[in-house]
A = this chain, B = another copy of it.
Amino acid sequence: MTVRFGLLGAGRIGKVHAKAVSGDANAKLVAVADAFPAAAEAISAAYGCEVRTIEAIEAAKDIDAVVICTPTDTHADLIERFSRAGKAVFCEKPVDLDLARVKACIKVVDETKGKLMVGFNRRFDPHFMAVKKAIDEGRIGTVEMVTITSRDPGAPPVDYIKRSGGIFRDMTIHDFDMARFLLGEEPVAVTATAAVLVDKAIGEAGDYDSVSVILQTASGKQAVISNSRRATYGYDQRIEIHGSKGMVAAENQRPFSIELANGDGYTRPPLHDFFMTRYTEAYANEIASFIAAIEKGATITPSGKDGLAALKLADAALQSVKEGRLIKVD
């Protein structure tokens, strides 16, 4: 079976997914839609697919699945529309920044027996997957404590910050998902601190740029997350899992594995400076997993419910900062 795709949104991340779909032996990119005709035309020219309207893709009989890469505020509506249209849906995170809206959307997906995958790409990074595999094979025993370090190379423009839903919903949400993925037990309590240390303009926009979070599960497992909007040495993405029998950790990635030594010491190059180069393989694996799940009729993970769970933790973290206390999560 070949899974036939429509692509909604032909921007930066849309291009990444267009390439992944086109290169997958079990998938075909049939059509692309974008509010900017030039963007859609570029994808069309590069991968030999048609340019259509969203409505045409919705109604199309030659399309089995869509990839939603449109602006965040359109995600929930499009998920609902395409679930109702019987298409499998891959949607970039987040489903929505508002918890109630996410819940309503997932309800529609459930009612329509829709298939929804949410784009938590890090679950598909080969190094993090190897960490998860080591855990699942019991190589570190029972998971006890997780440490996630996630620092961006630099702060985004304040305009982006204003639309982002805040650092917990925009940046930490990836770490909340990873923590859930790796802990193997749902967090039931969140405590967090937050500050503006990198860029005052971020504070003026009502957000933070440097946060620390502790998640705790019912059995006492703990995950610590450390985030900053700036890391001069590149995109710092590490996870470390401490268990009853040992520890497993994923190291940072850099484009060039060389080392230069002189009187100043031994120097390795900076890390990747962009999430799309750091997670190139993750993006490809993610879409491949979506295609494989559709083909086999398998359960799709991470689902809308995973998106919801991560958003709840983000909201709780923000509340913890505001109220100076530990927040229970249901």
Contacts and interface: CB of A to CB of B under 8 A. Distances in A.
Given A145-B226, A222-B210, A259 B249 contact: yes
B266 A268 contact: yes
Contacts of A23: 23
Given A247-B261, A252-B257, A325-B326, 6 more contacts: A147-B226, A151-B242, A192-B214, A233-B246, A233-B263, A265-B269
A262 B246 contact: yes
Contacts of A246: 232-233, 260-263
A118 B257 CA distance: 25
The 8 closest A-B CB pairs, nearest first, are A195-B220, A246-B262, A233-B261, A325-B325, A130-B256, A324-B326, A247-B261, A267-B267
Copies of this chain in the oligomer: 4
B134 A260 contact: yes
A264 interface: yes
Interface string A265-296: 11111100000000000000000000000000
Contact of A224 (B198, B224, B265, B268): B224
A245 interface: yes
Interface of A: 23, 25, 46, 126-127, 130-131, 134, 139-140, 142, 144-145, 147, 149, 151, 189, 191-198, 210-212, 214, 216, 219-222, 224, 226, 228, 230-233, 236, 242, 244-253, 255-270, 324-326
A316 B139 CA distance: 36
A263 B222 CA distance: 22
Nearest to A127: B257
Contacts of A260: 134, 139-140, 246-248
B224 A256 contact: no
A214 B214 CA distance: 8
Contacts of A198: 144, 244
B249 A258 contact: yes
Given A242-B228, A256-B127, A270-B265, A214 B233 contact: no
- Which of A195, A231, A265: most chain B Cβ within 10 A? A265
A267 B260 CA distance: 9
Contact of A258 (B130, B189, B211, B228): B130
11 contacts: A126-B256, A127-B256, A142-B197, A144-B197, A144-B198, A192-B214, A195-B220, A211-B222, A232-B246, A266-B268, A267-B268
A265 to B, nearest CB: 5
Contacts of A127: 256-258
